[in-house]
Amino acid sequence: MARPRSITDERLLGAAETVIGRCGPGFTLAQVASEAGVSVGTVAQRFGSKSGLLQAMSRRATRRAVEQMRECAERADDPVDGLRAAAVSVYAVLGDAEEAANHLGQFGVDIGDPVLRALLGEHFTAVEEELRRLVRAAAPSLPHAPSVPRAARAVLAVINGVSIDWSIRPHGRLADRLAEDVDAVLAAWRGREDA
């Protein structure tokens, strides 16, 4: 009979996320193991390799992003506020500018790997699909918005662009910058003059 795992994948993936935020793409499995308080063998056995670990992290990030978006949207008072809250939440995990830049560095490495790039595509597709659902719900209050698919792509482009720009040129808090730029788009779609 196999022994139950006392170290969860979630614990190991959380440790990897912390280490990448601190060290960037040059991180090692040994650093992840140290952060998780386990042996390197435990991490290697669970994920097979650094690539396997990154693949598991990507799948987890996609799942968590969509869950976070839904939770934020559900807590909002109306569909437009829900769309705004969900969009702003996508990059809430980035932390400070140095941590964000390290994650951005890992993102650059991921783009160069065909398997990880495909998983990034799945991530952006899942986020865009959730944004479509939220835009559709908010559409009656956004009379000047483009079609639902275009509006969802536009919001995704804004939050992706802001997160990259802020990682390179951090001014203030990322969440504030995301909210400010998403608000500008939503105000224009509402037809407000202060857009």
Q: How much is the pLDDT for 192?
A: 77
pLDDT over threshold 60, residue 85: yes
DSSP secondary structure of 72-125? HHHHSSSHHHHHHHHHHHTTGGG-SHHHHHHHHHHHHHHHTSHHHHHHHHHHHH
pLDDT tens per residue, range 150-163: 999 999 999 999 99
Q: How confident is the model over 113-133, as a mean pLDDT?
A: 98
Q: How much is the pLDDT for 194?
A: 58
Q: For residues 9 and 36, what is the distance between their CA atoms, to the nearest angstrom?
A: 10
pLDDT over threshold 80, residue 4: no
Q: Tell me the pLDDT of the chain averaged across its residues.
A: 93
Burial of 78 (0-12, 13-18, 19+ CB in 10 A): exposed
pLDDT over threshold 60, residue 3: no
Q: CA 168 from chain center: how many Å?
A: 17
Q: For residues 100 and 180, what is the distance between their CA atoms, to the nearest angstrom?
A: 19
Q: How confident is the model over 73-77, as a mean pLDDT?
A: 97
Extents of the domains making up the chain = 54-190
pLDDT tens per residue, range 96-114: 888 888 988 999 999 999 9
pTM comes to: 0.91
Nearest Cα residue to 93 out of 14, 165, 23, 29 = 14
Tokens linked to 116: 């990880």
Which amino acid, 72?
C
Nearest Cα residue to 131 out of 144, 150, 116 = 150
CATH number for the domain formed by residue range(s) 54-190: 1.10.357.10
pLDDT over threshold 80, residue 177: yes
pLDDT over threshold 80, residue 55: yes
Q: How much is the pLDDT for 5?
A: 62
Tokens linked to 184: 């500008």
